[in-house]
Structure 1
């Protein structure tokens, strides 16, 4: 893996923004020990270089009426690039699908779905998912209690590298 062009201050900025994306630049600068101008330059660089993809509000699912979360395991009927792409496109277009991953194991895709209730999931399943011709099998796993969700990404695997304090994945360091 190539060097990741981050230093300790960049990591502090990323951690602080993951914790609270609404920090003002002055608050962020105070938190990471920089003056506002250099802090803003670093944030802009992190955005430009793709380390920070977006800022958004994380909504309480229950408060907005999406009280049921379902993890759906989907097997593709005939394994082909076209079927996988068609299924990815179909799942990506559904607003109820809040996350979708191609996985290895007994399923081909693991899909996280947020809906108001069981009736809404039944409707999505019967009227949409089961009508997709490339689906061979569907298994639904209903969330009983959300223990941890939407947590910040762990950055502890990065450490100082051999070149001028750059941060690199730990596996790349001697």
Structure 2
């Protein structure tokens, strides 16, 4: 999408806050006709600005007591090893996110587990068996002070000073 205007940004922001917001309420909040609001909403979906909708779940209430940030360093970077690494990571539901990063480590993972024993088993059975991995460094979250997937739309769309 080339650019979002203020109305598109407002639609995206409201839906980011409440993905269950009806088209009628969204249109009313933004002083748009329902047809115009629906067309803009659908265009945001079609152009990939809105990728999907999901419920935000409380990991602790579902038994996910441990959240770990894991730095992986690799010794092999061939296409074959990288492809196998990505395949394993993509298939692993405990890995909430994986980023190829700059710095000392090659990858940063966010991993959820029931408890420390469960996390230890995950390290032994999955991470230590990943192809090309030479170093694993885990940081366990002691207290989550902020967690969000909401993007700062206004700040991202503002021109630089």
TM range (shorter): over 0.9
> Are the counterparts in 2 of residues 26 and 36 from structure 1 also a CA contact under 8 Å?
yes
Distance 1:30 1:148 in 2: 31
Distance 1:115 1:102 in 2: 22
**Given the two structures, how large is their TM-score scaled by the length of structure 2?**
0.93
Distance 1:22 1:79 in 2: 43
Counting matched residue pairs gives: 160
* Aligned twin of 2:73: 75
Tell me which moved more, 23-32 or 135-144: 23-32
* Aligned twin of 2:136: 138
Distance 1:48 1:133 in 2: 37
Shift of residue 92, structure 1, vs aligned partner: 1.1
Q: RCO higher in 1 or 2 (8 Å CA, sep ≥ 6)?
A: 1
- What RMSD, in angstroms, separates the aligned Cα atoms of the two structures? 1.5
> Are the counterparts in 1 of residues 67 and 140 from structure 2 also a CA contact under 8 Å?
yes
Q: 2:11 aligns with which of 6, 10, 13?
A: 13
Whose helix proportion is higher, 1 or 2?
A: 2
**Given the two structures, how large is their TM-score scaled by the length of structure 1?**
0.86
Unaligned ranges ≥5, structure 1: 160-169
Tell me which moved more, 40-49 or 4-13: 4-13
Distance 1:141 1:29 in 2: 44
Deviations 1:23-63 (A, max 9, x none): 01111111222121110111000000110000000100111
Q: 1:100 aligns with which of 91, 95, 98?
A: 98
* Aligned twin of 2:113: 115
